[in-house]
Amino acid sequence: MFWLKTRIIEGKGSLEKLRKEAKEHERVLILAGNSMKRHGFLSEAEDYVKEAGAEVFSITGLPAEPSVETIEEFLPKVGEFKPDLLVALGGGSVIDTTKALKVFYDAPELNFEEIAFLDRFSKPKPVPKLKTKLIAIPSTSGAGSEVSGASVLKKGGIKYNIVTPEIAPDVAILDPRLPMTMPREVARNSGLDVLVHGIEAYTTKVANDFSDAMAIRAIKTVFNYLEKSLEGDEEAREKMHYAATMAGIAFLNARLGLCHAMSHKAAWIGPHGLLNAIFLPYVMEFNAERSDYARRRYDEIARELGLKDWRALIEAVRELNERTDVPKLSELVDEETFMARLDEMAEKAYRDGLLAFNPVEAKPEEIKELYLRAFRGE
Ligand SMILES: [Fe+2]
């Protein structure tokens, strides 16, 4: 099956389409990242909503990581305003927060713990039909949250996932003016995450021809445009913005694998995309050495890029990391702290829902070894 709920609007200046989208609505709530306010995109969006004849209420100053506590704090204000359209204007965490807010706003009777996944052994209850329309306008190019039906949310320091088509945005507006504001490091980390999304989505057990098309185009775009995008090239940054959503569509259908399981559990060490970039070559080697299917799939990606085989692909990934100054894992965390949490990370990565889609079923001991190799930089 190939599935996409979100209508995608793209192009320079396409933020303006919010005017048309807001037309049938009376009260529009915008959740915006701080940088969107700073660069004037929030007030631009508010103007479009007003021009459409709707009332607008904006929330900014959200914490970096979405949490149930944040949602509970904002919910009374939102309930008072009674929006009939939710707009998320910002990075992945602003979009994830808006998705979770939609759940609690539309279905206040739901018990969070019952509908959320903690790991792959959880059996959450289905989420009922939710009615409020949601528009996502991403300001970074990486997370794919603008098309996915997933929201990662913390409660009491523990990360939960809500996964349901009900929270997939109805519309995504991809205006390349927004990601132009990303600092180089954010563009690098999220851009490398796009590569990992593409490569992992292409090699899961449930990949199909349709998700492959999205994954391959995203992978090629990263190799062709990421570095130019980091130099501030406008066209390259636009291409990367679209590639991020394409990779999102790929993994929304084909899911992800061991690399993401490992980076999720190591999230305390550093930025998501950066950890993925560090772990990817180790995970690829691990998969390729144990699975004919993984080798064949990496060979296919390699040929699409004009490379010889899977070994050359892994080398190309390593070289891209080097050229974009990806640090070593040991530069991000000291040995003692890392070793103290190693067993726990490996055990939790083993329990991550994504492991079921990886071409190889990794055991906790093997995951531990991969973490260690990444730390030693072998
Ligand atoms: Fe990711």
CA of 196 to the centre of ligand 1 (A): 7
Q: Dihedral sign, CA of 357, 241, 66, 28? A: negative
In a domain, 208, yes or no: yes
Q: How many CB atoms lie within 10 A of CB 80?
A: 8
Same domain (yes/no): 133, 234: no
In a domain, 1, yes or no: no
Same domain (yes/no): 193, 259: yes
pLDDT in tens, the chain (378 residues): 899 999 999 999 999 999 999 999 999 999 999 999 999 999 999 999 999 999 999 999 998 888 999 999 999 999 999 999 999 999 999 999 999 999 999 999 988 888 888 788 888 888 999 999 999 999 999 889 999 999 988 888 778 889 999 999 999 999 999 999 999 999 999 999 999 999 999 999 999 999 999 999 999 999 999 999 999 999 999 999 999 999 999 999 999 999 999 998 999 999 999 999 999 999 999 999 999 999 999 999 999 999 999 999 999 999 999 999 999 999 999 999 999 999 999 999 999 989 999 999 999 999 999 999 999 998
CA distance 9 to 230: 24
Structure tokens at 24: 């049938």
Match 């459409």 to its residue by tokens.
52
CA of 24 to the centre of ligand 1 (A): 34
CA of 121 to the centre of ligand 1 (A): 21
Same domain (yes/no): 314, 365: yes
Among 147, 174, 201, where does a domain finish? Answer: 174
CA of 272 to the centre of ligand 1 (A): 7
CATH of residue 148's domain is 3.40.50.1970
Which residues have a beta carbon within 5 Å of ligand 1, which is an ion?
A: 193
In a domain, 41, yes or no: yes
CA of 337 to the centre of ligand 1 (A): 24
CA of 338 to the centre of ligand 1 (A): 21
CA of 365 to the centre of ligand 1 (A): 23
CA of 248 to the centre of ligand 1 (A): 9
Q: What's the 3-state SS for 26-51?
A: CEEEEEECHHHHHCCHHHHHHHHHHH
In a domain, 360, yes or no: yes
CA of 273 to the centre of ligand 1 (A): 6
Same domain (yes/no): 200, 151: no
Would you say 301 and 374 are in contact if contact means Cβ atoms under 8 Å apart?
no
Same domain (yes/no): 146, 209: no
CA of 215 to the centre of ligand 1 (A): 13
CA of 26 to the centre of ligand 1 (A): 35
CA of 264 to the centre of ligand 1 (A): 9
CA of 27 to the centre of ligand 1 (A): 33
In a domain, 339, yes or no: yes
Strands 133-138 and 150-155: unpaired
Q: What local confidence, expressed as pLDDT, does residue 154 receive?
A: 87
Buried b (16+ CB within 10 A) or exposed e, 235-266: ebbbbbbbbbbbbbbbbbbbbbbbbbbbbbbb
Q: What local confidence, expressed as pLDDT, does residue 157 receive?
A: 76
Among 174, 203, 233, where does a domain finish? Answer: 174
Same domain (yes/no): 201, 346: yes
CA of 202 to the centre of ligand 1 (A): 14
CA of 204 to the centre of ligand 1 (A): 15
Same domain (yes/no): 157, 195: no
CA distance 39 to 137: 14
CA of 20 to the centre of ligand 1 (A): 31
In a domain, 133, yes or no: yes
Same domain (yes/no): 208, 353: yes
CA of 80 to the centre of ligand 1 (A): 35
Q: How many angstroms separate the Cα of 182 from the Cα of each of 12, 176, 208, 229? A: 16, 11, 33, 10
Range of the domain at 153: 7-174
CA of 356 to the centre of ligand 1 (A): 17
DSSP type of residue 172? E
In a domain, 2, yes or no: no
> What is the residue type of 96?
D
Count: domains in the chain? 2
DSSP 57-100: EEE----SS-BHHHHHHHHHHHHHH--SEEEEEESHHHHHHHHH
CA distance 305 to 32: 37
Among 139, 156, 174, where does a domain finish? Answer: 174
Q: What local confidence, expressed as pLDDT, does residue 102 receive?
A: 96
CA of 260 to the centre of ligand 1 (A): 6
Same domain (yes/no): 146, 63: yes
In a domain, 330, yes or no: yes
CATH of residue 281's domain is 1.20.1090.10
Same domain (yes/no): 198, 89: no
Same domain (yes/no): 235, 330: yes
CA of 112 to the centre of ligand 1 (A): 24
Match 């391959």 to its residue by tokens.
216
Strand partners, 86: 29, 134
CA of 222 to the centre of ligand 1 (A): 14
Same domain (yes/no): 169, 190: no
CA of 244 to the centre of ligand 1 (A): 10
